[in-house]
Amino acid sequence: MAEGIVKRHSVGCRSREGRRCNCGAGWEASVYLAREDRKVRKTFALEAEARSWRADALVAARRGTLRAERRDTRSLAAALTEMVEGMSAGTVRPKGRRAYKPNTIRSYERVVRCYLAEDALGAMKVGDARRKDVQAFADELLAGGLAPGTVSNVLNPIQAFYRRALDRDELAYNPAARIDLPTDVDTRPTRIASAAEATNLLAALPLADRPLWATAFYAGLRRGELQALRRGDVDLASSIIRVDRGWDQEEGPIEPKSHASRRTVPLLAVLRDYLDEHLLRTGGAGDELLFGRRGNSPFAPMAIGKRAGKAWKAAALEPITLHECRHTFASLLIDAGANPKAIQTFMGHSKIQTTFDTYGHLMPGSHDEVRERMDAYLERTACADHALSVPAETPDVS
């Protein structure tokens, strides 16, 4: 047995002297901290987990970043409640950013209230929870019919809490890491309108609603970005739309979703026609909301959706949501030949991988197209190599 790794035994186990044991009590890993003259101990279900943790802990001990864990006697639900309160007060912030979004704070509070307050995991002490406990919690939610994406959202505050505690040396073990959730779920958009379909959908709408939906179709703004868009954000002279804020349903204007969300989007000629007419018809100052009901009161998404649905039903057209209009804009960019980096920028994605994961199936390069191009390329290469390998005939000078 490696030093610092020992097999734990349940009470009454007959193999406490090191003989083969199947009692299932787990493994304990430990690292001695000379500066504090004490050991840091952790228990794990598997020997491999114990060895992995001890290897990392030894490195941290040499660097002086490993600390003996202070016993946290709070329940996980109570600790998360305190974290949410700190998020609201601004004393707890996401890594690398200034503050949590109001909607994130509300969603974390909802998770604690609806899922953890009465659950066994929520009642566990912060330091007692193990990965198997969090995994069992996730498995129960999945078995109860929740979608994998919903379960992932429920786990978010738990994972955020333990990551933060780990970063601040308050804990040495993260039980919420590497939780297994189904990944064989197709998250690609299923409703994307063609260019002709977008034209027909807009034409069927009430005149006053067309500029809003046109901006969703031809600029790809998120719903909150559409609600927060001001008249002055539309620069007709430079043919751009500036996106530099979002909208929270309770807090009002907020910072963009991410740094990449603060962007400029090209003002297409087809969209300019809608916005020109809208600006002339409604008037107003530059800081007023472009699609507000009254000055600085944003449009109501539910009311907008109901009016559109009624109009499209009368015209026998398949309805679409504002977010699906955003997907349509990405599809139009791809059809027009925009490169992936430009699409990432215009869509406000933080990572280009998000762009590829969401819209990669729409990009040029089907299996047949790739095969045909590769066959043609290799054929040209083979012909060129053959021409170089054949010696030129020596002219007859006799």
- Residue with tokens 């139009």, as numbered in its chain: 332
Residue 357 has what pLDDT? 78
The string of pLDDT tens digits covering residues 280-335 is 988 877 889 999 877 688 999 999 999 999 999 999 999 999 999 999 999 999 88
CATH number corresponding to 76-167: 1.10.150
Residue 369 has what pLDDT? 63
Mean pLDDT of 168-172: 79
As its CATH architecture, domain 195-361 has Orthogonal Bundle (1.10)
Counting beta carbons within 10 angstroms of the beta carbon of residue 229, is it exposed (0 to 12), middle (13 to 18) or buried (19 or more)? buried
Counting beta carbons within 10 angstroms of the beta carbon of residue 290, is it exposed (0 to 12), middle (13 to 18) or buried (19 or more)? buried
The string of pLDDT tens digits covering residues 154-168 is 999 999 999 999 888
How confident is residue 105, by pLDDT bands cut at 50, 70 and 90?
A: very high
Share of the chain above pLDDT 90, in %: 50
* 192 to 317, 318, 347: CA distances (angstroms): 13, 11, 15
Direct distance between the N- and C-terminal alpha carbons of the chain, in angstroms, rounded to an integer: 89
pLDDT at 36 exceeding the cut of 80? no
Residue 17 has what pLDDT? 47
Integer Cα distance of 333 and 390 in angstroms? 47
Closest to 171 (Cα-Cα) out of 364, 4, 40 = 40
The string of pLDDT tens digits covering residues 44-94 is 888 888 888 888 888 888 887 777 666 678 999 999 999 999 999 999 998
Out of 209-218, 246-255, 324-333, which region has the weakest mean confidence (pLDDT)? 246-255
pLDDT at 387 exceeding the cut of 70? no
How confident is residue 257, by pLDDT bands cut at 50, 70 and 90?
A: confident
For the entire predicted model, the pTM comes to: 0.65
In the chain, which ranges are E strands? 5-7, 27-33, 38-44, 234-235, 240-243, 246-248, 252-254, 263-266
Domain ranges of the chain: 5-63, 76-167, 195-361
The pair of three-digit structure tokens given for residue 291, joined into one six-digit string: 């699609």
- Could you tell me which residues come within 8 angstroms of residue 7 by beta carbon, excluding any fewer than 6 positions away? 1, 18, 21, 25, 27, 28, 47
Closest to 211 (Cα-Cα) out of 231, 232, 193, 194 = 231
Integer Cα distance of 335 and 267 in angstroms? 17
The string of pLDDT tens digits covering residues 325-381 is 999 999 999 888 888 899 999 999 988 888 887 887 777 665 566 667 677 778 887
Share of the chain above pLDDT 70, in %: 86
